[in-house]
Structure 1
Amino acid sequence: MPKLIKNGRIVADDWQIVSLAEGETAGDAIVPAGRTLVPLAVWQARHAELAARADRGEVGVWLNAGDGPEDIDDDVKRFAVIAVNFPKFTDGRGYSTAMLLRTRYGYTGELRAIGDVLRDQFNYMTRSGFDALQPRADRYTDEQLEAAVASISDFTQPYQASATHPQPLFRRVARAGAKA
């Protein structure tokens, strides 16, 4: 069973990710039984069919880099898991999507980073709101994944505001001689 980092721990992943094959349409995609993450296009094309499964916590959605959280605005609360795909490590649009889901849309479920998810980005991903990180299965050995978990807390006091620290550092730190 694939592994992922969830809330700072390595856990087995029991969610299947559906991808559209070349030439396959969203309406024709096979959505297997069990816990399944479907692409936004499949969710939109088969909304009526998949909504009850989403309400039971069996179907989540994944957004590609060009998809925005506004595309699932009316359904955000019904998903147990929303994943955001990072097609390449240099594509940072997923960070903005995560922040918007957590702050503007009030999403409190599992927010998962999938795709080209690299250890160097784990800290930033968690700060932008991701609580689950799923690197490609062939990317890390178990030992490397354990070391990657430890690297999430490399920076304990970030300066900038984020989903996990809504106030910047200068607002969080009391300085000697400062007036209240």
Structure 2
Amino acid sequence: MTRIIKNRAVVEDSWSVLRLAEGETADTIDLPQGPVLVPLSVWHARKSALLAASSPAAPVGVWLAAGEGPESLADDLAQLSVIAVDFPKFTDGRGYSAARLLRERYGYQGEIRAIGDVLPDQLFLMARCGIDAFALRADKDADKALTLFDTFKTPYQAAVDQPQPLFRRRAA
């Protein structure tokens, strides 16, 4: 079992991430048992089957690829306890926007998880955007990464975790 950072603690992770291989389609792929994060295309193609097989012991979540916005999940958010945002490479920042949209525009209260090429130095900003669980790249140490949440004490910009910028907080 892998370990992730969730709510600023290192925990065991029972979720698997389903990725389509070459030649597989959302309509024909075998769905694994247990807690699974499926691609958005699989969710749209097989939502009924996924919800029918879902249980407290085997919940289902969705992951968004870079460039996929959360708007197509707006009506399904209450059925999803986890939404993952894929970062295909550390230089791709589209996942930050997806996380902020989920929290701010759609009011999603469940877990938002960062998956893919997630590096420790990204955790602080990811958390500010509303991400609360982090599946670090396999070569990174989650225990060491925990200290990076406290890199900055007073952020200047507004974000999910602090909706007012510093100049507004100081003026109040």
When normalised by structure 1's length, the TM-score is 0.90
- 3-state SS, counterpart of residue 10 of structure 1: strand
Q: Give the equivalent residue in structure 1 for 2:169.
A: 172
- Correspondence 1:138-177 to 2 at 5 A: 139-140=139-140, 144-173=141-170
Cα offset, 1:47, TM superposition:
1.3
- 3-state SS, counterpart of residue 159 of structure 1: coil
Give a deviation string over 1:37-62, Cα, whole Å, max 9, x none.
00001001101111244575710000
- 3-state SS, counterpart of residue 27 of structure 2: helix
- 3-state SS, counterpart of residue 152 of structure 1: helix
* Larger Cα-atom Rg: 1
Structure 2 CA distance for aligned equivalents of residues 152 and 101 of structure 1: 21
Change (3 A) 1:55 1:73: farther
Q: Give the equivalent residue in structure 1 for 2:12.
A: 12
- 3-state SS, counterpart of residue 63 of structure 2: strand
Structure 2 CA distance for aligned equivalents of residues 120 and 5 of structure 1: 13
Change (3 A) 1:25 1:39: same
The residue type paired with residue 79 of structure 1 is L
RMSD: 1.5
Cα offset, 1:172, TM superposition:
2.0
- Correspondence 1:121-132 to 2 at 5 A: 121-132=122-133
- 3-state SS, counterpart of residue 150 of structure 1: helix
Give a deviation string over 1:116-167, Cα, whole Å, max 9, x none.
0011111000000000011122x22xxx321211111111211000011111
- 3-state SS, counterpart of residue 43 of structure 2: helix
Check whether the contact 2:113–2:133 (CA below 8 A) recurs between aligned residues.
yes
Structure 1 CA distance for aligned equivalents of residues 41 and 105 of structure 2: 22
Percent of matched pairs sharing the same residue: 55
Change (3 A) 1:48 1:114: same
When normalised by structure 2's length, the TM-score is 0.94
Cα offset, 1:77, TM superposition:
1.8
Structure 2 CA distance for aligned equivalents of residues 60 and 25 of structure 1: 18
Bigger shift: residues 97-106 or 72-81: 72-81
Q: Give the equivalent residue in structure 2 for 1:21.
A: 21
Structure 1 CA distance for aligned equivalents of residues 91 and 5 of structure 2: 21
Structure 2 CA distance for aligned equivalents of residues 69 and 54 of structure 1: 21
Runs of 4 or more above 6 Å deviation: none
Structure 1 CA distance for aligned equivalents of residues 55 and 47 of structure 2: 12
Structure 2 CA distance for aligned equivalents of residues 170 and 113 of structure 1: 30
Structure 2 CA distance for aligned equivalents of residues 12 and 88 of structure 1: 24
Instruction: Give the aligned length.
Output: 171
Q: Give the equivalent residue in structure 2 for 1:59.
A: 60
Q: Give the equivalent residue in structure 1 for 2:81.
A: 80
Give a deviation string over 1:8-36, Cα, whole Å, max 9, x none.
11100010111101110001112111111
Check whether the contact 2:5–2:133 (CA below 8 A) recurs between aligned residues.
yes
